[in-house]
Amino acid sequence: MQGENRPGPLVGIVMGSDSDLPVVKGAAEALTLLQIPFEVRIISAHRSPLQALEYARTAAERGLKVLVAAAGGAAHLPGLLAALTPLPVIGVPVGTGTLGGLDALLSIVQMPRGIPVATVAVNGAFNAGVLAAQIIGASDPEVRKRVAAYRERLAAEVGEKDARLQS
């Protein structure tokens, strides 16, 4: 339950199946790290298309700023949501089944002109969360500062590893 003073979610994370959850957790992890409120839903482009339509069409008016959509196989969920909302959609191809995620990657990345989906690597949900924060940060200086601080930590880690190697 959401407390009255808690900010509403800014990012909607949607996955096609609960079997995507181990991958999708990466997006939640990044958004938690960057202190961006989010919600997580299971909605399928194929098995529950009407819920997908309802979710996408109401996402902006509910205050969401970015959608992260993860799916495997014939991964139509990110593209379907992108077709139905003016919000930016980040697609996460989930590596499942015999084709190991190449199928999902191509399904998500090959959008027709005019309806883009920003696509991250197969199972690259963490980066989807970071990218969602960066998109929000473009118009929110506080979020931008948090993203900058995160990058400074990354750089410091590289520096520490290099220093250990040199010692």
Residues near ligand RP5 (CB under 6 A): 16-17, 19-20, 44, 71-73, 94, 96
107 annotated among ligand-binding-site residues: no
Q: How far is the CB of 67 from ligand RP5 (least distance, A)?
A: 15
Radius of gyration, CA atoms only, the chain:
17
Q: Which is nearer to ligand RP5, 55 or 137 (CB)?
A: 55
Amino acid at 7: P
103 annotated among ligand-binding-site residues: no
Q: How far is the CB of 89 from ligand RP5 (least distance, A)?
A: 15
d(CA 29, CA 34): 9
Q: Which is nearer to ligand RP5, 122 or 143 (CB)?
A: 122
Q: Which is nearer to ligand RP5, 82 or 136 (CB)?
A: 82
Phi, psi of 39 (to 5 degrees): -125, 155
Q: How far is the CB of 97 from ligand RP5 (least distance, A)?
A: 7
47 annotated among ligand-binding-site residues: yes
d(CA 112, CA 67): 19
- Asked whether 123 and 94 are in contact (CB, 8 A), the reply is yes
The helix or strand, by DSSP H or E, that contains position 143, with its residue range, turns out to be helix 141-166
Q: How far is the CB of 138 from ligand RP5 (least distance, A)?
A: 29
Give CA angle at 30 (87, 106), nearest 5°. Answer: 55
- Binding site, annotated residues: 17, 20, 47
Which residues carry a binding-site annotation for substrate? 17, 20, 47
